[in-house]
DNA sequence: TTATCCTACTGGTCTGACCAAGATCAGACC
DNA sequence: GGTCTGATCTTGGTCAGACCAGTAGGATAA
């Protein structure tokens, strides 16, 4: 009943995790810094090494820290790829989460395209144009087509020059691309699909070129809405009897 | 020198993690299932218990699994709230990017308010109304006022009924509230501030009530823009010589 | 049949140990 | 004197066995 671990009232793992989180959030531990050794950390916090390892492993899967064999533990620049892990698991067991995440993606992209209208440079325009061209070229290929589609949308976010939006977007994209392929196949049969894909993206591109945030946002938003509509119809088996471009 | 660990060529942790991931992704382990005990897992995979714990802890922070003290480890329903941990860490290390994070917040809220127009129920409306009232009541208090402001915006996101948007928003809000207070104090001196705060939020509220996504989005967006403008002026020391309501 | 108690089991943690390999520095060699 | 080499220290990676504290369920007593 010593007051040793009652210091924070936390259990061992929590104690270590909280200790590290504190410094991480406060900024006293920045990317590139090397943590003190596991043994030191253990004695410092009055816990055993396995517990310290649990905490470090936890931070590792969160992409906050990297444990380098025989070197030490260093703080890394957070990497979105972690989210891929999560989404992979999550998606496997809960497909209904897709629509919800999609909403977040729409949010990010619509904001990104507004910023892009203001901040995009020549290189961004060129990247968009290349992606647009690729969409046209791969219009008949489900796989490559999906990739081209993704690259276009990715280019929009990149053009926003916002690190945060970029991070958020790529984390969602990882999850969504999985479903994208099947969705695309589902929708492949619609003749009007090609027109929709090409024209829509071209209109979006033009709005960015025109540096018109309102139009770009609206066009992109409509693009997503139409995509949803297509998918909805494909699900109910409504075989192409519309141009659905409104 | 048994062929113990050569089984997969993976290190201990990886072995356990991969083992569990496999069953998780394959679906043989579904939410609600209870894993075999740590000890069994350890002997089964030929690793020590601390290693098993590392893997379980890893899955825990990923929100895939829940370790219940003295009960066992059970598979949980994946929950987006894990992302909160990640984003909190990730965004914290880019403190210089508060404006950038703010862009993401705008993105989330503007999307949320659109969804809210469609999905909000009576309870949501009431929550918004209460928050709105509180903004009026606390208009002269920097601290409580900031809190009320936050609650209103939070209510918008809640009304979207999107778990993902909600999680993203709260991780950002956590970071932004810090700066919010100082911002608010900075701006406190402006007489026209009160009008801006009250009227703007009321207009936003009305747009949601009217279930008009476009208007709501536009109004909210303008609200953010004006807030930015105030802050900008406060920084350059331009003491209130405008109504700035355009 | 019911209520209580005991025991096996579970997670939570610690101790102390061994291994392999990078880091470091002293001493040998050029 | 400078460079190279090797022993040693340190670090992560892992293991084995142990103890605690509750929980669940079977055995036992009422």
Does B131 lie in the same domain as B71?
no
Our count of domains for chain B comes to 2
* Chosen domain end from B75, B100, B130: B75
**Interface contact flag, A110 B110, Cβ < 8 Å:** yes
Model confidence at B39: pLDDT above 80: yes
Model confidence at B235: pLDDT above 60: yes
What is the Cα–Cα distance from B144 to B56, expressed in whole angstroms? 42
Looking at residue A80, its pLDDT comes to: 67
Does A101 lie in the same domain as A12?
no
Choose from A57, A74, A169 for mutation: most chain B CBs within 10 A. Answer: A57
CA of B223 to C1' of C25 (A): 64
**Interface contact flag, B78 A97, Cβ < 8 Å:** yes
- Domain membership of residue A31 (yes or no) is yes
Closest nucleotide to A41: CA versus each C1':
D11
* Chosen domain end from A40, A75, A110: A75
Does A39 lie in the same domain as A55?
yes
Contact of B198 with chain A, judged by CB distance below 8 Å, is answered with: no
Does B181 lie in the same domain as B120?
yes
CB-closest option in B62, B88, B104 to A165: B104
- Domain membership of residue B8 (yes or no) is yes
Q: How does the average pLDDT of chain B come out, rounded? A: 83
- Domain membership of residue A241 (yes or no) is no
Here the CATH number for the domain that contains residue A169 is 1.20.120.530
- Domain membership of residue A246 (yes or no) is no
Looking at residue B2, its pLDDT comes to: 33
* Chosen domain end from A50, A75, A100: A75
Does A125 lie in the same domain as A19?
no
CB-closest option in A60, A62, A108 to B85: A62
- Domain membership of residue A162 (yes or no) is yes
Contacts of A213 in chain B (CB under 8 A): none
Alpha-carbon separation of residue B172 from A69, A109, B90, B116 (angstroms): 34, 17, 10, 19
Does B94 lie in the same domain as B32?
no
Chain C footprint bases within 7 A of protein beta carbons: 9-17, 20-23
What is the Cα–Cα distance from B69 to A212, expressed in whole angstroms? 56
Contacts of A94 in chain B (CB under 8 A): 77-78
Does A95 lie in the same domain as A51?
no
Model confidence at B77: pLDDT above 90: no
- Domain membership of residue A243 (yes or no) is no
- Domain membership of residue B175 (yes or no) is yes
Does A216 lie in the same domain as A166?
yes
Here the CATH number for the domain that contains residue A22 is 1.10.10.10
Looking at residue B151, its pLDDT comes to: 93
**Interface contact flag, B61 A58, Cβ < 8 Å:** yes
Nearest CA in chain B to A30: B93
The interface predicted TM-score (ipTM) is 0.72
Give pLDDT < 70 ranges for chain A. 1-9, 80, 95, 174-175, 178-191, 235, 237-246
pLDDT tens for B83-117 read 777 877 877 776 566 778 888 899 999 999 999 99
**Interface contact flag, B27 A57, Cβ < 8 Å:** no
pLDDT tens for B185-207 read 666 666 677 788 889 999 999 99
- Domain membership of residue A99 (yes or no) is yes
Residues whose CB falls within 7 A of nucleic chain D? A 35-40, 49-50, 53, 67-73; B 5, 11-13, 46-51, 69-71
**Interface contact flag, A83 B85, Cβ < 8 Å:** no
Does A69 lie in the same domain as A94?
no
Helix (H) or strand (E) holding A56: helix A49-61
Looking at residue A9, its pLDDT comes to: 59
Looking at residue A82, its pLDDT comes to: 76
pLDDT tens for B161-177 read 998 899 888 877 766 76
Domain that holds residue B179: 82-236
Looking at residue A180, its pLDDT comes to: 63
Does B66 lie in the same domain as B89?
no
Give A191 to chain B, closest Cα distance, Å: 31
Token reading at A46: 């009055």
Does A9 lie in the same domain as A38?
yes
Choose from A63, A76, A113, A164 for mutation: most chain B CBs within 10 A. Answer: A164
> Could you tell me which residue, B139 or A134, shows the higher pLDDT?
A134
Does A129 lie in the same domain as A70?
no
């Amino acid at each position: 009943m010593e007051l040793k671990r009652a210091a924070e009232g936390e259990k061992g793992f929590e104690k270590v995790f909280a200790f590290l989180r504190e410094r991480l959030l406060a900024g006293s531990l920045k990317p590139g810094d090397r943590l003190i050794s596991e043994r030191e950390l253990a004695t410092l916090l009055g816990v055993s090494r396995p517990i310290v390892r649990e905490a470090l492993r936890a931070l590792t899967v969160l992409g906050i820290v990297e444990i380098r064999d025989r070197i030490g533990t260093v703080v890394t620049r957070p990497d979105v790829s972690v989210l891929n892990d999560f989404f992979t698991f999550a998606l496997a067991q809960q497909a209904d989460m897709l629509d919800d995440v999609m909403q977040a993606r729409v949010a990010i992209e619509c904001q990104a395209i507004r910023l892009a209208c203001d901040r995009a440079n020549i290189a961004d325009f060129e990247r968009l144009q290349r992606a647009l061209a690729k969409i046209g070229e791969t219009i008949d290929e489900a796989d490559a087509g999906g990739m081209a589609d993704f690259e276009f949308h990715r280019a929009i976010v990149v053009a926003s020059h916002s690190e945060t939006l970029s991070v958020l977007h790529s984390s969602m994209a990882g999850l969504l691309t999985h479903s994208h392929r099947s969705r695309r196949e589902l929708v492949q049969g619609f003749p009007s699909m090609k027109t929709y894909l090409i024209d829509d993206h071209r209109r979006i591109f033009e709005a960015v070129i025109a540096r018109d945030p309102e139009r770009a946002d609206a066009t992109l938003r409509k693009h997503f809405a139409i995509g949803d509509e297509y998918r909805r119809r494909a699900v109910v088996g409504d075989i192409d009897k519309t141009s659905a471009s409104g």
